[in-house]
Every structure is written in structure tokens, then in C-alpha cells.
Structure 1
């Protein structure tokens, strides 16, 4: 198994190795998908951070401000679910 970090660091080396062995591998596509995957994981981490911040603020708020934060929290939870589902569909078990 080849470590994706190695491919990120030396894509040319892996392109050449695949070509020399007669394999047709789209290293650029692999790197693109890896970036999308990493970006989605980062987005999920950011969502969790924001949710935690909002969760700490909500008890101190009241009225319209509290409802606005609850609405934001609800939207974040939906976005988190979509991102988790997207990741689940694309990652091996």
C-alpha cells in the first residue's frame, strides 16, 4: 500500500513508476480527490468548533439573539450531516 502523503510529496516519481510498469494511473485526479477529501474533513472540524462556540453562548442569551443562534446551530448540524454522509460514501471501511 502506498502512503498518499508520499504521492503528495513526489507525484512525478509515482507517475514515472506507474508509466515504467505499464500502469495507467491518473495521479492528478488522485491528488484532486485527496484534496477534496481533506478539505471536507477540515470543514467538518470547523463546523464542530463553531457548534461548540454557539453551544456555550446560547445559555447566556435570550429572545431573538438566542433564537438566531439556535437557528444557526440547526443549519450547522444539517451541513455537518451532509458532509459526514458525503465522506461516508467516499471512504473505504
Structure 2
């Protein structure tokens, strides 16, 4: 039961991220913001597909053979997101400001 709850929470958080990725895609298109490098714009566009896929795989039943793949993909999505934000210099500063206000 505990694993199912954790996977459901992780799926929900990935879907929240998906909304952000898709919203950015609709607002700025594939080219994204003019201030960010091209590789980063491509990354955000790819996340609009990979994050919901990870959420869907995580939300499979406990006996599903796809859940471990969902776990791996979810970890890769989160790690890549943190790395992209850190390389752009925006993520860590914003998180630290939010925590220590």
C-alpha cells in the first residue's frame, strides 16, 4: 500500500510539471524564450512528452511490469530537470530563496 501511495504522489507531481512544460510550449512555441540556449528549449519541449509518460508508467498497478520503467524514467526526468535548471543558473537560486524567505 505504501509504494502505491508514493507512486501516486510522484505521478501527481510529474503531472504538475507537465502542465508547466505544456503551458510554456503553448506560450513560447518550440523556440522557447529568446534568452535561453537552443538545447535547453529542446529539452523543455521533450519534457512535455517524457514527464506524462513517466507519470503514466508510475500509475500502473503494483504488479505491472512497467512500474520499474516508470520509476527509472521519473528519476531521470527529475535529475535532468535539476541539472538543466542548475546549468541555466535559475533553479537553485529560486529554490533557496523560496525556502529561506
TM-score, structure 1 as length reference: 0.48
Whichever structure has more helix as a proportion of its residues is: 1
Which protein has the larger Cα radius of gyration, Structure 1 or Structure 2? 1
